[in-house]
Amino acid sequence: MSTQIIPNQVIPERVALRDIDLSNILSQGSAHKLLTWSLSLTFFWFGLLKVINMSPVVGLLRHSFAFFAHQPFLGLLGLFEILISVGLLIPRIRKITISLTILHLFGTISVICVAPNILFAPYFPVLTMEGEFILKNFILISACLMLLFSNREPAPVS
């Protein structure tokens, strides 16, 4: 089968990735929704693993905040994270939930002060897996701050 070219037909040029305007594709409202849903999913997943006692962070907790490494405290911590995930999806309490989430994440980051030896190996700045886990919380805090202090109220998550 051959392609026919009709006279005066405009043939589109190749589009470079740098020429694509994502602002037309992804509006600020949909970016807020995506960020809100991804934070919610992350906290739900992490919390659920703690509730069912299958969280991979138990070793980190044993070396930093040992009382959280055992039930019922591990389950309560997980339940708190599940509540965060739900609160992020409810517009009326989202800002309060985000504030509590930031406090929770700063608590997690405090491991840097409590047990720095488990975050770096063999020495600073080489990160262990636990160090990478803690470091990603700075990104989560930034995402929460972005939602908390955005110029407009995020569109309700539907």
Cα distance between residue 88 and residue 86, in whole Å? 5
CB 73 within 8 A of CB 67: yes
Report yes or no on 7 lying in a domain.
Answer: no
Confirm whether 9 is domain-assigned. Answer: no
pLDDT in tens, the chain (158 residues): 555 656 666 655 666 666 666 666 667 678 889 999 999 999 999 999 999 999 999 999 999 999 999 999 999 999 999 999 999 999 999 999 999 999 999 999 999 999 988 998 898 899 999 999 999 999 999 999 999 998 555 555 55
CA distances from residue 127 to 112, 130, 132, 135 in whole angstroms, order as listed: 11, 8, 6, 9
Domain tally, the chain: 1
Domain range for 114 is: 29-148
154 in Cβ contact with 147 (< 8 Å): yes
**Is residue 17 in a domain?**
no
How many whole angstroms separate alpha carbon 146 and alpha carbon 102? Answer: 11
Answer yes or no: is 19 within a domain: no
**69 belongs to a structural domain:** yes
64 assigned to some structural domain: yes
The verdict on residue 21 lying in a domain is no
